[in-house]
Chain A
Amino acid sequence: SQQGEEDPQALSIQEGENATMNCSYKTSINNLQWYRQNSGRGLVHLILIRSNEREKHSGRLRVTLDTSKKSSSLLITASRAADTASYFCATDAMGGGNKLTFGTGTQLKVEL
């Protein structure tokens, strides 16, 4: 079963706007990661946030984690057409072994 569920499933914005994607999960985690997938390609790691962290930044990316609500959000600021891709959250569950469980993804389209 999918550990993470992303919301929204699809998002369309104009270049320069901010994009926010949300992820909810079910069990306790060690960390949560966000990945990006361009059409027809493999996934690329974007950012990792540990269970004892609440917020993390990397360039134009901002990730928050609320373990009490079992949810995370990914914010992409000042979006560009090149940000058009699918974004997936992945959780490293406590006691789950060295493996990740991926959500269903958010398809982001950034229009010029």
Chain B
Amino acid sequence: NAGVTQTPKFQVLKTGQSMTLQCAQDMNHNSMYWYRQDPGMGLRLIYYSASEGTTDKGEVPNGYNVSRLNKREFSLRLESAAPSQTSVYFCASTSSGRGNEQFFGPGTRLTVL
């Protein structure tokens, strides 16, 4: 099992460009999450999907959109990138039910110039 995979690993964008970060999990998990991590800070939730077909905003959703393509895949889109979106992005998943541990991908390091 690959667990949670993310592509790309690194990306440099210019202000105003768009891109999609891809995430996939092979653990048959129902819930998936997108976080961003900035220096000296913990993870902040951008969007999450409690189950296939549903998505909800997290703490910092502005400037992002998501798609839960199927049970395995959850993508994050930046429509018009801004320097403030320079960050490391992590995708995570968990099985249904409360309190289950989250499994994280390796992250995407994004720089917006």
Interface set of A (CB-CB < 8 Å, partner B): 1-2, 4, 30-31, 33, 40-45, 48, 50, 88, 90, 92, 97-105
Are B50 and A97 within 8 A (Cβ)? Answer: yes
Distance of B74 from chain A, by nearest CB (Å): 14
Interface set of B (CB-CB < 8 Å, partner A): 4, 31, 33, 35, 40-45, 48, 50, 56, 58-59, 90, 92, 94, 96-99, 101-107
Are A98 and B50 within 8 A (Cβ)? Answer: yes
Are A44 and B43 within 8 A (Cβ)? Answer: no
Are B42 and A42 within 8 A (Cβ)? Answer: no
Docked Cα-Cα span, A91 to B44, in Å, equals 13
Are A41 and B45 within 8 A (Cβ)? Answer: no
Distance of B113 from chain A, by nearest CB (Å): 21
Distance of A29 from chain B, by nearest CB (Å): 10
Are B102 and A100 within 8 A (Cβ)? Answer: yes
Of all chain A residues, the one with the shortest Cβ separation from B41 is A104
